[in-house]
Chains A and B, each alone.
Chain A
């Protein structure tokens, strides 16, 4: 096991740049998830680490050794492909044994290691089968077995469970987490599913258009998104984002949304904190639906809004409140708002309100009342 360092890594396909100045340190034994929308360069980054793709410039260091000029075979890395890439003509046993055969170990040693890994994954009964006769989940276990058996310096996984159905995906997610806790293998995992990323990662790396947007623990990325992209990409249902204007009247600070249709009360400290950032430009705020707090009776600081749509999601409802031309989505206990058209009293939780520079999208780093 080892650490992986990317320094100023850049990659062009022809004239198209798909990775821009990526700097990232993955610590020994860490589980890092590369998260981002389709086409943002996650797979390319992973393949570059594995040596399946040359990089245009920069440095990749594995276990203290620059490897960007080494062949994939010489990097001692395992790769789990999205579609498993199990060899159809080999049995499950031979598939798992395949990386060991390259090292020309004695038969008995190969046999012992394959059985050990198969036992850990609960696939001993499948060893004689051909991959074609396996279910998706079992294929994935075999693919992971093939990656683990060699005890590589790191395991790279490219959406390994993306092709499974939802239920199985959840099971496999837990299994992957268990395996990582048992093996402590340095892991880099690519996904575009933020739930998967939150569940698995020690640290999440959010990517967009070949640029790292934010690197942090799942709770960090969730609670302190570095910019509008991360704010909207992480979390489900999606965070409310709206242009906002700050109004100060007689010591009371209000946040006007929807072109002034609703003005939410904010702690007085907001005004000085905002001017302290020196960001004079337009402001956007972000509030997750759970940060929009609803009450049936008016209370201090609440304003009166109309419920437009109600999405019952079982454990909770998502209520769309009409604010000017737009909507503010709130998360409420199931059945809290009886029917569309009802009026409710809403306030924004200042502690859960994020402030962004509208132009650059960067977070202003203001946390109120926390």
Chain B
């Protein structure tokens, strides 16, 4: 049924749409900037005014994934013909820089750092959300002595800006050999996220009526079975939301990653700026690295969008 709308309503509606468009543009501008720079030829990356129309290239990505250090002459036609496709991309971009010192093509550290980021972020998210869910369930469903105090204590672990303890943490990590290890970062990020995860999950689990579990208990299930068969599926929305938040925190963390890691376990955030290097920075490579780095969070959030958007109150308990 088409609603009849007054001119005022139509005007209001159009204003709202215009406002949303403007806000969207403001928020998308930096992302467009990164994405477009990642596909620009190097000489167009820093022009003033900015180049908006250009022929996109993949050479920044080719450079991102390979090690290049030696400067040399432009390639001869034979060299060009013999070069693999990704190297040709770089030549096409007008660069003469391809080979490392010994003249071999090597994979850059970027894929490894990216993988480190994935390992650390995913593992710490699983741990924080898993432990957080169990803890929240306990607080939500059982009489816990000093519940309020314990919950406040858990929250209080977030009250100090984490960077304040970075140096002592680094010293302790070095003493126990946790610096520059995956487990070191995983432990750190899990601890960061746990208090947040407990509080968020407690809110979600409090929303799930006890009757669901009680029905399962009466119907012959143990509390553990009731938890896995009933509470977990019901809490899926909350778990998804909590996981997205924890993942984003762990994925984007920069300061501790910079201090605690330098090689083996280094994650992408401290690695990408380190590629600015000396001399003239190649912003297209930085942009390419950043662009790829943005994707996992976008994909993860996109995959969980249904869970994130679905309301909590789709259940069969009527309030």
Contacts and interface: CB of A to CB of B under 8 A. Distances in A.
B220 A103 contact: yes
B100 to A, nearest CB: 55
B235 to A, nearest CB: 10
A88 B315 contact: yes
Interface in A73-91: 73, 75-79, 81, 83-89
Contacts of B209: 83, 85
Given A131-B315, A132-B315, A88 B234 contact: yes
A72 interface: yes
A99 B316 contact: no
A85 B211 contact: yes
B111 interface: no
B211 A73 contact: no
Contacts of A139: 316
B214 interface: yes
Nearest to B216: A98
A9 to B, nearest CB: 18
Interface string B185-196: 000000000000
Contacts of A50: 218
A184 interface: no
B314 interface: yes
Interface string B89-129: 00000000000000000000000000000000000000000
B222 interface: yes
B221 interface: yes
Contacts of A83: 209, 211, 317-319
B211 A81 contact: yes
Interface string B205-247: 0000101101111111110010000100110100000000000
A136 interface: yes
Determine the main DSSP class of A at the interface with B. loop
A150 interface: yes
Nearest to A53: B214
A163 B318 CA distance: 8
B258 to A, nearest CB: 43
A210 B162 CA distance: 54
A51 B218 contact: yes
Given A81-B211, A83-B318, A88-B314, A73 B217 contact: yes
A83 B233 CA distance: 19
Interface string A48-85: 00111000000000000000000111011111010111
A133 to B, nearest CB: 9
Interface residues of A, number: 31
Contacts of B219: 73, 78, 98-99, 102, 146, 150
Given A73-B217, A84-B317, A132-B315, A89 B233 contact: yes
A92 B219 CA distance: 16
Tier of interface size on chain B: 20 to 34
Given A81-B211, A85-B211, A89-B234, A134 B316 contact: yes
B314 to A, nearest CB: 5
A73 B220 contact: yes
A88 B218 contact: no
Which of A50, A52, A103, A146: most chain B Cβ within 10 A? Answer: A52
Which of A52, A75, A84, A88: most chain B Cβ within 10 A? Answer: A88
Contacts of B211: 81, 83, 85
Interface string A91-105: 000000011001100
Interface string B306-319: 00000000111111
Contacts of B314: 88, 132
Contact of B214 (A52, A86, A87): A52
A241 B218 CA distance: 43
Nearest to A71: B217
A99 B219 CA distance: 5
Given A73-B221, A89-B234, A99-B220, A79 B215 contact: yes
Nearest to A158: B211
A163 to B, nearest CB: 6
Contact of B212 (A72, A75, A85): A85
Contacts of B315: 86, 88, 131-132
Nearest to B211: A85
B222 A73 contact: yes
Interface of B: 209, 211-212, 214-222, 225, 230, 233-234, 236, 314-319
The 3 closest A-B pairs by CB, nearest first: A131-B316, A102-B220, A85-B211
Given A72-B217, A88-B316, A163-B318, 12 more contacts: A51-B218, A75-B218, A77-B218, A83-B318, A86-B315, A86-B316, A87-B234, A89-B236, A98-B216, A102-B225, A132-B314, A146-B215
16 contacts: A51-B217, A52-B217, A72-B218, A73-B219, A73-B221, A77-B218, A81-B215, A83-B211, A84-B316, A84-B317, A85-B317, A88-B315, A89-B233, A102-B225, A132-B314, A150-B220
